[in-house]
Amino acid sequence: MEYTKVEVKVSPVNEVANELLMAQMGEMGFESFEENDKGFNAYIPSPLFEDITLSEIYCPLEGISIDYSTEVIPDQNWNKEWEKNFFQPIIIEDKCIIRSSFHQVDSEAKYEIIIDPKMSFGTGHHETTSLILNYLLEIDVAGLDVLDMGCGTAILGMLCSMKGAAKVTGIDINEWAYNNAITNLELNSVSNMEVLLGGADLLKDQQYDLILANINRNILLADMANYAKVLKPGGSIYFSGFYSEDVEIMDREAQKYNLQLKSRKTDNNWTSLAYIKAE
């Protein structure tokens, strides 16, 4: 699939402005973002970009100007784009290293995840992903049935597999993410994770001990009832992909489905919430 890159120049450079703009563009259908010293780049499937009006994107902060330029990114160029411009290995708490197959890194981290991210969201660099990675490094998932909603590159699900989960199911609505996740499972020799193409409509009668949902606020709110339905009593669910300002509305919705808040993590105003389903 052909993608379109939109280079967003923010003047003066402002990290909060970047986040506000990326949140808007995420809701419009943009799938991946990479920050730089001028603002950030946003990526969207070219067929979807035809319906995008960039002038509708606005920054609520005073004194911020925005300029755009676009470039079509063919499929075959994307790995080179990541290798050249963005994706660098990351180490989380000296316990988990995430690198691409084109990196060679000396590390004593217990868990090593190899990904070729291509166009899929979820390299571990963004706060929304790293917040849940930190949660997963703290908890015991051995023997659990895990659901990774909006799995992207499958990082979260693969870490669960490496930590001894009995079975992992990844679901993503984006075909590129679906294919990329399958590739990454092969790279890491993960055999107990299944990846499905679609959305919350795929959730049927299967019950899960642990659900990871790293998407965005609007989708989480719309699909929370479906998640709660397939979560076992006493099971845990971790939400990520929203700002601290969204916690109240997220928690209000969660309480409707017998989900009890147990903890929260925040990084650069991005927030992750951990819940237990009351028995």
**Taking a C-beta distance cutoff of 8 angstroms, is the pair 137, 162 a contact?**
no
Residue 172 labeled ligand binder? yes
246 is in an annotated binding site: no
CA angle 239, 53, 21 (to 5 degrees): 40
Are 258 and 268 contacting, i.e. CB atoms less than 8 angstroms apart? no
Pick from 275, 271, 274: nearest CA to 131: 271
Tokens representing residue 274 in the block? 């951990």
* 129 annotated ligand binder: yes
Check whether 214 is labelled as a binding-site residue.
yes
What is the token pair recorded at 217? 């606020």
160 neighbors 223 (Cβ within 8 angstroms): no
Q: At what angle do helices 155-162 and 175-187 cross, to 10 degrees?
A: 30
Binding-site positions for S-adenosyl-L-methionine: 129, 150, 172, 214
Please give the annotated binding residues, written as ranges. Answer: 129, 150, 172, 214
